[in-house]
A = this chain, B = another copy of it.
């Protein structure tokens, strides 16, 4: 099978069929097994150009580390404040210029559609590093890959997603990714932070979703619990925030009520929605998840840059 990702944009997780997902996961496995010296040839002399309209240290460093592991370089704008953009330059012009300076472009932008727009303008492939309120495709890919590595499968699992489901862009991308598998999804959030149902329109028939407001209801059956941060700013009332925060915190008590092999995930950074007291448990896989993320992103970059790479 030829490499379907050569020179291809990564704009939305919705563009990934199940075959695509498997191709990426297999390639990640292969890349991770390569010797340093072989791996270091895959990006040699190539440049990743990044533009962050919103700062995201995590995503930037993950991609920079991935690119470095392939022998390539990274240049870009991590801090919009000190860039030409402040002089009033359009997104289109910024994309067109970074396109001239790099071989693959990484874009984080607050608006929906920004990456699709950028992909139409640029000669080189675009990677969406988070756009608008619903798209963060490489996060979804690494989340799925983490589940696969830790659970050995995705089909047949019961996945709970907890926290701010209304504003968390990783949640929507993950759900679209999960729609390729036979999974049971439980969404747990305070009433004011429920998922926007209309955004799931395309996958409503593919995914079995149940909504909850109490975490305890779902724990006994859950294989994977995906926790997101709840931001104080979302609540008009601080007391309401404190109450919700308390009931959703994952700690030893939560684990005691769960399957013994429940996998606890988090896109990071974490504040206090997962207690540090469970960091040492085998259930805590949020740091492994970040590590899988670097490998998966290295695989994506290698695929985009090397036509003849086979999984």
Contact = CB atoms under 8 A, between A and B. Distances in A.
Interface of A: 36-37, 39-40, 44-45, 47, 49, 55-58, 61-62, 64-65, 68-69, 71, 73-79, 81-85, 87-90, 92-94, 96-98, 100-102, 229, 268-271, 276, 287, 290-291, 294
- Which 3 pairs of residues, A with B, have the shortest CB-CB distance? A65-B101, A89-B269, A68-B73
A102 B61 CA distance: 10
A73 to B, nearest CB: 4
A262 B73 CA distance: 37
A58 to B, nearest CB: 6
A271 B89 CA distance: 5
B61 A49 contact: yes
Contacts of A100: 287, 290-291, 294
Contacts of A55: 82-83
Output the residue of A44, A89, A93 with the most chain B CB within 10 A: A93
B69 A45 contact: yes
Contact of A44 (B40, B102, B271, B290): B40
B45 A57 contact: no
Contacts of A229: 87
A27 B218 CA distance: 59
Nearest to A40: B45
Given A69-B47, A270-B89, A287 B97 contact: yes
A84 B65 contact: no
Contacts of A98: 61
A65 B47 contact: yes
B57 A77 contact: yes
A83 B79 CA distance: 10
Nearest to A94: B269
Contacts of A69: 45, 47
A273 to B, nearest CB: 11
Nearest to A82: B55
6 contacts: A40-B45, A45-B69, A56-B84, A57-B82, A79-B79, A89-B270
B294 A101 contact: yes
B39 A97 contact: no
A197 to B, nearest CB: 28
